[in-house]
Amino acid sequence: LTPDEFRALGHLFVDAVADSRARIERHPVRDVVSPGTVRARFPREAAEGPTPLAGFPSLVESITGDADTRWQHPGFHAYFPANASLTSLLGELLSGAAGVQGMLWSTSPACTEVEQAITDQLARALGLPESFTHDGGGGGSIQDSASSAALVALTAALHRAAPDPESGWRARGATGRERVYVSPETHSSLAKAVRVAGLGAIGLRTVPCTPGTASMDPAALADAVRADTGEGLVPVLVCATVGTTSTGATDPVAEIVTVATRHGAWVHVDAAWAGVAALCPEHRWVLDGVAGVDSFCTDAHKWLLTAFDASLLWVRDAGALPAALSITPAYLRDPASDSGAVVDFRDWQIPLGRRFRALKLWAVLHGQGLTGLREHLRGHIALAEELARRIRGHDGLELAGEPVLSLVCLRVTGDRDGSATAALLGRVNADGRVFLSGTEIDGRQVIRVAFGAVGTTREHLDVLWEILAGGR
Ligand code: PLP
């Protein structure tokens, strides 16, 4: 395409995006399809010749338009929504257009330094200690996911626990004695990171929660770490979650830091969903204890109006990730890198290449301002509070715990075995106007309502309530 052809087609494509967002509520949140439906619409072989792109948006619509789950539908309250605001899509366009590969500072100084500046700004806006900024000796990076963030934090922790270049982790890998501590409520990405890092299932210690809560018991953590060190095992990392996936529970970060630092273990905070709430001063409790941790992760692609992928990972020691991950063959040698005066983000992640993700986050910050972002978060939190209020006043439904930020967990009143709640979830989702997901608390089915889609308003809460309460 020439730039002029791109301009003409670009208008068509942007119109298609705008139309599909404007009309999204004409569709159910989820289409009901059987496996293979979409694939069967493709010819076996790719076309030899070119086809005019002007028809591409309608082709995509005809192939996928009745076979999708609409994550941007305002009735999407399942999992944690992934809010791809149109503002962030405009930033994505610029990012794709720049087409840079920011592996080294010198391969795109702009990509690197915008990411440094934006993560520093965000750290300050959230209220993270200055030590997590690039200015303050640490720094933020944008990873593809919280899962990757956990994995790179683990590599830094493994190196820090055995830094000797001849005999340490980088030289000989895992020994089978390294231990990572999680709770039963920690996201499965930690178990995956432990597996990928080669620690094996024995490398993962699941510390129980304080009875009656879904938060890690710091006394049980202390016992586990003491017992392990007594056997010559090495506590490498403790993951503290702020806002667990199931119910939004929070681990006692400060107490975990006290135990972990006594044994030199890295503390990683997984605040994938809840962390962005710290933008609102009244929710800054999500950062309690964070001053003492080594890394902190929150996903802008969950609840901060930014299209997937944009997971923010801050570390307190800017040298920690490069120390674990940097490998420099001749073809990557670079005078700016050798000078030590720049950050090469390739050393802060698993892949070499990286996109200019900071542009979409910058677009969001620019277009919304912190005030707009706080309004967005507070709007969803208010919906959760209102839903909880209605549930408290309803005979057939009960809260499965107090709502946390924008997450409400509920069940059918008195549902001992969870079957009535599971049936209600099925009925609600069959309606098509909303989509909820479930989880279990103490082995019993629970329904989760996570507000977070871009366009969800009070009217959508009313629709949800009509279906939910009517289903009882
Ligand atoms: N951690 C928590 C607490 C989560 O809720 C999730 C996803 O919902 C993740 C990690 C994984 O996020 P990602 O898809 O960014 O890897």
Task: Annotate 105-159 with DSSP letters as a single string.
Answer: TTT-HHHHHHHHHHHHHHHHHHT--GGGSTTTT-EEEEES-HHHHHHHHHHHHHH
At 135-154, the pLDDT tens digits run 999 999 999 999 999 999 99
Which residue's CA is the closest to the ligand 1 atom numbered 2? Answer: 272
Q: CA 298 to CA 304: how far, in whole Å?
A: 10
The complex's ipTM works out to: 0.98
Nearest atom, ligand 1, residue 308 CA = 15
CB of 239 shorter than 6 A to ligand 1: no
CB of 245 shorter than 6 A to ligand 1: yes
Q: What is residue 89's predicted lDDT score, i.e. its pLDDT?
A: 98
Q: What is residue 470's predicted lDDT score, i.e. its pLDDT?
A: 87
Query: Taking all residues of the chain, what is their mean pLDDT, rounded to a whole number?
Result: 97
CB of 143 shorter than 6 A to ligand 1: no
CB of 272 shorter than 6 A to ligand 1: yes
Query: How far is ligand 1, taken at its centre, from the CA of residue 145, in Å?
Result: 7
pLDDT grade, residue 19 (50/70/90)?
Answer: very high
Which residue's CA is the closest to the ligand 1 atom numbered 12? Answer: 146
- CB-CB contact of 305 with 85 (8 Å): yes
Nearest atom, ligand 1, residue 144 CA = 15
CB of 247 shorter than 6 A to ligand 1: no
Give CA separation, 46 vs 49, 65, 184, in Å. 9, 21, 47
At 150-171, the pLDDT tens digits run 999 999 999 999 999 899 999 9
* Averaged pLDDT, 129-137: 98
Nearest atom, ligand 1, residue 148 CA = 16
- CB-CB contact of 426 with 413 (8 Å): no
Closest Cα to residue 30, out of 94, 62, 78? 78
Which domains occur in the chain, in start order? 3-68 (1.20.1340), 100-355 (3.40.640.10), 363-470 (3.90.1150.10)
| Rg over CA atoms, the chain | 24
- pLDDT of residue 101 exceeding 80: yes
* Averaged pLDDT, 303-314: 98
Q: CA 74 to CA 110: how far, in whole Å?
A: 35
Q: What is residue 198's predicted lDDT score, i.e. its pLDDT?
A: 97
CB of 241 shorter than 6 A to ligand 1: yes
To test the pocket of ligand 1, the residue of 273, 295, 309, 437 to mutate (highest count of ligand atoms within 8 Å of its CB) is: 273
- pLDDT of residue 471 exceeding 90: no
- pLDDT of residue 220 exceeding 90: yes
At 253-287, the pLDDT tens digits run 999 999 999 999 999 999 999 999 999 999 999 99
Quote the tokens at residue 178: 């390294």
Q: What percent of the chain has pLDDT over 70?
A: 100
Residues ≥6 apart with Cβ < 8 Å to 403:
248, 384, 385, 387, 388, 409
At 202-215, the pLDDT tens digits run 999 999 999 999 99
- CB-CB contact of 236 with 157 (8 Å): yes
Q: What percent of the chain has pLDDT over 90?
A: 99
At 404-456, the pLDDT tens digits run 999 999 999 999 999 999 999 999 999 999 999 999 998 999 999 999 999 99
To test the pocket of ligand 1, the residue of 245, 308, 437, 439 to mutate (highest count of ligand atoms within 8 Å of its CB) is: 245
Q: CA 255 to CA 242: how far, in whole Å?
A: 13
CB of 146 shorter than 6 A to ligand 1: yes
- pLDDT of residue 472 exceeding 80: no
Query: How far is ligand 1, taken at its centre, from the CA of residue 187, in Å?
Result: 7
pLDDT grade, residue 233 (50/70/90)?
Answer: very high
Quote the tokens at residue 10: 């670009």
Look at strands 295-299 and 266-270 and give their pairing. Answer: parallel
